[in-house]
A and B are shown apart, each in its own frame.
Chain A
Amino acid sequence: MKISRYLNPDRAATFLFVALAALSLVALVFGRDAPAGGFSAGLLAGAAFIAYLNAFGVPRSRRLLPRDLLALVAGAALVASIGGLLGLGAFAPFLTNLRANLSFGIVSVGTSVQQVVSVCIFVVLAGSIAAMALEFAAGGGEK
């Protein structure tokens, strides 16, 4: 066990990326009851991506992302807006937070529009920060 193994910049960057990504998921999942939420989680995921980008460069980081990143971001924004309209379908006012409890045998999963919207916000923020960072690092002329 050499200390230098832990000082390897590759490993350090990977560790940072994984840790930040995990933290962002934690923030997303537990954000309803503890500090954080979709916004912070999205920002954290964006930060994770930037760490990766700084360590491994543009081509390798680009492979982490889906090809149509902007389409994904726009789709998430659309789903979030539709989430606001869902209340209308259930004859409730606009932007009403609907909740449904799905139970699979003994396991019961509660879900609500708010959670879906939260995930959408996460995708929008993380995706757009990643897109921006890639663009900043690569520039438009060198695709």
Chain B
Amino acid sequence: MNFDLDAGITLAALAPFIAALLAPFLFRFTRHYSAWLLALVPASIFGYMLHYVAQMPRRQFVSAGYDWVPSYGLRLSFYLDQLAVSLALLVSGVATLALLHAGPFLKGNPGQGRFMALLLAATGAMLGLVMADNLVSLFIFWELAGLSTFFLVGFDHERRAARRAAIHMLLVNAIGGLSLLAAFLLLHQMTGNWEVSALFQFGPAIREQPLYPVILILVLVAAFVRSAQFPFHFWLQNALEMPASAAAFTQSAGMALAGVYLLMRMNPILGGATLWDVILPIFGGLTLLWGAFGALRQTDLVQILTRTTVSALGLMVLLLGIGTQAAFSAVVMVLFAHAFFKAALLMVAGNVERATGTRDITELGGLWKPMPLTFLGALLGLAGMLGLPFTLAFQSRQEMYAILFLDRISDLFLNWQNTLVVLVMVLANAIWVALGLAILFRLFAGRARATPLSPREGAPFLWLGMLVLGAASLWAGTWLDGVGYLFLTPIASSIANIQIDAYLYSGLGAVLSLQFAITAITWLVGIVLFLSLDDIRTLFRDLPGTRGGSLALMLDNILTGLVRLSGFLFGFVPRFPAPAWTMVLVVLFSLVILAPLAPVFSIPDMAQVVPPSFIEIMAMLVAIIGLSGTLFARTARIGLLFLMLTGVAIALLLVGFGAPEASLAQIIIANLCVALLVLLVNRHGLGMTETRSVVRKVGEGGLSVIAGLAIALLGISVLQRPLDQKLADFYVHASVPLAGGRNVIDVLLMDFRALDTFVLLFLFLAAMLALFFLVSARGAKETGSGKTKRSAGSASRAVKTRSAGAKTRSVGTRSTKAATARKRAPKKASTRKQKGKPA
């Protein structure tokens, strides 16, 4: 039983990722129909989560999961309380509809398989995020959500705007991710717990700690970035570059919701303190107004919707900050109502743009006739945006206005703050109403206007999603008692961590109440705003400093600055020859090594150094011969051969110390490096002759000797300290019983330090790729431009010489003498040419 539970819940969080891996392959065979198959994954998660609805009113929760890194107490654990279950339902439900929408919406787009994979990954990340119990796994899912959304924003990566939006999103969210990690580490340090559910009981104690403000601010930065609160709102405004199906998911149930979810989850732990009560309403209210007024200036349909999303997210943060019982139930209702209508309206916007070729509301009109089902979906969605009766949005407005007279915001606030908050909410809601009316009348009413494409209704899955979402909103709004009992009150209680009795008003009582009067005022103000919308837009456009996203511009400037800086560095480095840079490196290297020795500097006790044996002296002599050969060789190739000699001599020394493994590696690496360098030298005709003077050679050699002496001093002085053999002994003794290998080095690499090996492997790959493309690009440049004609000529000549040599050899000469003679001939010619040219 318990196993089934663990497996089921873990699978629910991981299944979308597995589906995401399969999506591109599935797409090859089933093209756009793969959306149907893939949508089964979130749909079945939705079905699975429905099992847990029955337990919601009883305030029960389920813990499940597996040990991950038990030695650090890390678990891949999940905590399904009312908040998690209902948000998982929302995420999986909206994801199903968005996937189905994406099927016909992106039909014919070659990247559709990738798109569906990314959307599924975003779904999995959000599911994992809302269900995660462990702080570390929560953080991982948080970052996965960011990463998958980054790729979704940049889906259309051929367009500059999409790339810019994606980079902005990634950079801004990196700030949030880092501060979240820091906050979680502090929380762990403070309580010794990784599980969120276990942290709930520490709430009051944490709020007393001196570090509490630090943790709170770190968490708030993370949540504000993710949920696009002022001043980080701009990434979401740019994120509309993604396809409509993804935008519908991201703005209603996807990444934009993650920040609000984090605040809800952290409310029992961090919420309720004075700082929380002050910061959240201020930033939430600012964002609420900022988004609403920003939307007023827009004529782009998607921009309007996205800015009202920013505004709605601000509303949620504001309500969470108010933190009363009515506010908690209002925030739950706002969340769901907004998700329903915003996802539907973004799908409408996508369909309209797809059918007409434009999304500017001033260029559209009379769409109800050619697109009747989209019109119906838009009507249902707009009913939510306007907050018409019988929708969940209407009820959420009733609930949020109830804070005016039902409870005081907190001890800190006087009642005039309640009034101010309600005034702000009325104003913002009125702007939503005005914009909703504008969408309705500009898009669908009036006479049809000429558009780039002639509009017609699309495939069923294009309009099915919005109808389902609209129906959900109506269902929740009319059957409020049941929905309140099953979902709203339990979720609000889960956020507050105490039992809440929401003031759910429905039926006639709602109509006659004071809240309804305020709601009516909201509509009236909205209608007035709608009627004067054009004037307001003109007025706003002329205001200075409202050109949107000054922070976005700042980010742009930072990015171009970085590009300029790297351009400057790229120009600066070649001004000095490579040997000069090498010398700088050697000097810095010896300084870095000698610096830590300086404070305690004493020449190590040479009497303790064991005198070398005869073989060791011989090996050292060979090494010294090799080094001086390298230094004074006439050509680079001979120098490299001498270098190889040094490498072999060092390998011999290592054998003497009883380190065959290191010796083997030393031999192979020394030879490989030399072989690769010889290839490079041959290919590019570098350093055929040595031009440096003897004095310079001695000087540079002296510098290297100093660097070597520095290392020797460091090594000797380290070895004169007592050596702790504990770790080495453990490895030697544990390698056979624990890992079944007698080669301790291999066991170390493959088992004990396997993570290091992975990092090493990818580091190696990265370095290899960098070298590969550096040489590749250089080769292309040389053959392409006439600027470096000389080296290009010599390079191609070198290759020709070699292939000519190969030919003579493969002809099958019996006598080696003849072959070498023939081989030597072109070589001589080429060296002669080489010598002749510079003179």
Inter-chain CA distance A44–B816, complex, in Å, is 29
Contact of A135 with B775 in the complex, beta carbons under 8 Å: yes
Answer yes or no: A108 CB below 8 A from chain B CBs.
Answer: no
Q: Most chain-A Cβ atoms within 10 A of its Cβ — which of B660, B676, B747, B802?
A: B676
13 more CB-based (< 8 A) A-B contacts, given A136-B679, A137-B679, A139-B782 = A4-B814, A31-B743, A31-B746, A36-B664, A37-B749, A40-B664, A43-B669, A114-B741, A129-B672, A131-B772, A132-B775, A139-B684, A140-B777
Answer yes or no: A21 CB below 8 A from chain B CBs.
Answer: no
Q: Is the interface of A mostly helix, strand, loop or mixed?
A: helix
9 contacts between A and B (CB under 8 A): A36-B661, A40-B664, A47-B675, A77-B761, A97-B751, A118-B746, A121-B761, A138-B779, A141-B780
Contact of A47 with B779 in the complex, beta carbons under 8 Å: no
Contact of B745 with A37 in the complex, beta carbons under 8 Å: yes
Contact of A57 with B771 in the complex, beta carbons under 8 Å: no
Contact of B661 with A35 in the complex, beta carbons under 8 Å: yes
Contact of A139 with B751 in the complex, beta carbons under 8 Å: no
With A33-B743, A44-B668, A135-B772 in contact, is A57–B69 under 8 Å at CB?
no
With A4-B815, A9-B819 in contact, is A139–B758 under 8 Å at CB?
no
Residues 1-60 (chain A) with a chain B CB within 8 angstroms: 4, 7-10, 31-40, 43-44, 46-47, 50-51, 53-58, 60
Query: Which residues of the partner chain B approach A136 to less than 8 Å between Cβ atoms?
Result: 676, 679-680, 683, 775
Chain B, residues 753-777, CB within 8 Å of chain A (1/0): the string is 0110110011011001001100111
Q: Which residue of A lies closest to B70 (CB)?
A: A93
Contact of A97 with B739 in the complex, beta carbons under 8 Å: yes
Answer yes or no: A68 CB below 8 A from chain B CBs.
Answer: no
Inter-chain CA distance A142–B679, complex, in Å, is 15
Inter-chain CA distance A8–B776, complex, in Å, is 33
Answer yes or no: B5 CB below 8 A from chain A CBs.
Answer: no
Query: Which residues of the partner chain B approach A72 to less than 8 Å between Cβ atoms?
Result: none
Query: Which residues of the partner chain B approach A88 to less than 8 Å between Cβ atoms?
Result: 66, 68
Contact of A39 with B665 in the complex, beta carbons under 8 Å: yes
Query: Which residues of the partner chain B approach A32 to less than 8 Å between Cβ atoms?
Result: 740-743, 746-747
Q: Which residue of B lies closest to A93 (CB)?
A: B69
Inter-chain CA distance A74–B765, complex, in Å, is 8
Closest 6 pairs between A and B when the two form their complex, measured CB to CB: A139-B779, A141-B783, A140-B776, A140-B779, A37-B746, A33-B742
Answer yes or no: B179 CB below 8 A from chain A CBs.
Answer: no
Query: Which residues of the partner chain A approach B660 to less than 8 Å between Cβ atoms?
Result: 35
Query: Which residues of the partner chain B approach A57 to less than 8 Å between Cβ atoms?
Result: 802-803, 806
Query: Which residues of the partner chain B approach A91 to less than 8 Å between Cβ atoms?
Result: 66-67
Q: Which residue of A lies closest to B76 (CB)?
A: A88
Contact of A47 with B671 in the complex, beta carbons under 8 Å: yes
Q: Which of B69, B676, B776, B778 contacts A133 (CB 8 A)?
A: B676
Query: Which residues of the partner chain B approach A137 to less than 8 Å between Cβ atoms?
Result: 679, 682-683
Q: How far is the CB of A22 from chain B (nearest CB, A)?
A: 15
Contact of A131 with B679 in the complex, beta carbons under 8 Å: no
Query: Which residues of the partner chain B approach A50 to less than 8 Å between Cβ atoms?
Result: 672, 675-676, 679
Query: Which residues of the partner chain B approach A142 to less than 8 Å between Cβ atoms?
Result: 779, 783, 796, 799
Inter-chain CA distance A73–B762, complex, in Å, is 11
With A32-B746, A33-B741, A36-B664 in contact, is A124–B679 under 8 Å at CB?
no
Inter-chain CA distance A135–B772, complex, in Å, is 6
Inter-chain CA distance A22–B26, complex, in Å, is 41
- Which B residues are closer than 8 A to A by beta carbons? 66-71, 660-661, 664-665, 668-669, 671-672, 675-676, 678-680, 682-684, 739-743, 745-747, 749-751, 754-755, 757-758, 761-762, 764-765, 768, 771-772, 775-784, 795-796, 799, 802-803, 806, 809-810, 814-816, 819
Inter-chain CA distance A81–B765, complex, in Å, is 13
Inter-chain CA distance A137–B809, complex, in Å, is 19
Inter-chain CA distance A140–B799, complex, in Å, is 13
Q: Which residue of A lies closest to B741 (CB)?
A: A32
Inter-chain CA distance A85–B713, complex, in Å, is 43
Contact of A121 with B757 in the complex, beta carbons under 8 Å: yes
Query: Which residues of the partner chain A approach B814 to less than 8 Å between Cβ atoms?
Result: 4
Query: Which residues of the partner chain A approach B779 to less than 8 Å between Cβ atoms?
Result: 135, 138-142
Contact of B66 with A43 in the complex, beta carbons under 8 Å: no
Q: Which residue of A lies closest to B823 (CB)?
A: A9
Q: Which of A35, A46, A121 contacts B672 (CB 8 A)?
A: A46
Query: Which residues of the partner chain A approach B758 to less than 8 Å between Cβ atoms?
Result: 80-81, 84
Q: How far is the CB of B244 from chain A (nearest CB, A)?
A: 33
Chain A, residues 53-71, CB within 8 Å of chain B (1/0): the string is 1111110100000000000
Contact of A97 with B67 in the complex, beta carbons under 8 Å: no
Contact of B768 with A132 in the complex, beta carbons under 8 Å: yes
Q: Which of A118, A128, A133 contacts B765 (CB 8 A)?
A: A128
Inter-chain CA distance A43–B814, complex, in Å, is 34
Inter-chain CA distance A35–B667, complex, in Å, is 13
Contact of B665 with A43 in the complex, beta carbons under 8 Å: yes
Query: Which residues of the partner chain B approach A60 to less than 8 Å between Cβ atoms?
Result: 806
Inter-chain CA distance A94–B683, complex, in Å, is 45
Inter-chain CA distance A137–B671, complex, in Å, is 17
With A56-B806, A94-B68 in contact, is A124–B783 under 8 Å at CB?
no
Q: Which of B680, B750, B762, B796 contacts A97 (CB 8 A)?
A: B750
Inter-chain CA distance A46–B315, complex, in Å, is 61
Q: How far is the CB of B255 from chain A (nearest CB, A)?
A: 25
Inter-chain CA distance A99–B745, complex, in Å, is 19
Q: How far is the CB of B65 from chain A (nearest CB, A)?
A: 11
Q: Most chain-B Cβ atoms within 10 A of its Cβ — which of A37, A56, A57, A95?
A: A37
Inter-chain CA distance A68–B814, complex, in Å, is 38
Q: How far is the CB of A61 from chain B (nearest CB, A)?
A: 11
Query: Which residues of the partner chain A approach B684 to less than 8 Å between Cβ atoms?
Result: 139
With A9-B819, A35-B743, A129-B672 in contact, is A139–B765 under 8 Å at CB?
no
Q: How far is the CB of A14 from chain B (nearest CB, A)?
A: 12
With A34-B743, A124-B764 in contact, is A118–B668 under 8 Å at CB?
no
Inter-chain CA distance A4–B815, complex, in Å, is 7
Q: Which of B661, B676, B680, B778 contacts A140 (CB 8 A)?
A: B778
Q: How far is the CB of B795 from chain A (nearest CB, A)?
A: 7
Q: Which residue of B lies closest to A80 (CB)?
A: B761
With A40-B664, A137-B682 in contact, is A10–B816 under 8 Å at CB?
no
Q: Which residue of A lies closest to B675 (CB)?
A: A50
Q: Which of B750, B768, B810 contacts A117 (CB 8 A)?
A: B750
Query: Which residues of the partner chain A approach B778 to less than 8 Å between Cβ atoms?
Result: 139-140
Inter-chain CA distance A137–B779, complex, in Å, is 10
Query: Which residues of the partner chain A approach B741 to less than 8 Å between Cβ atoms?
Result: 32-33, 114
Q: Which of A9, A58, A114, A140 contacts B775 (CB 8 A)?
A: A140
Q: How far is the CB of B174 from chain A (nearest CB, A)?
A: 23
Inter-chain CA distance A128–B69, complex, in Å, is 32
With A36-B664, A50-B672, A93-B69 in contact, is A140–B780 under 8 Å at CB?
yes
Query: Which residues of the partner chain B approach A73 to less than 8 Å between Cβ atoms?
Result: 765
Query: Which residues of the partner chain B approach A74 to less than 8 Å between Cβ atoms?
Result: 765
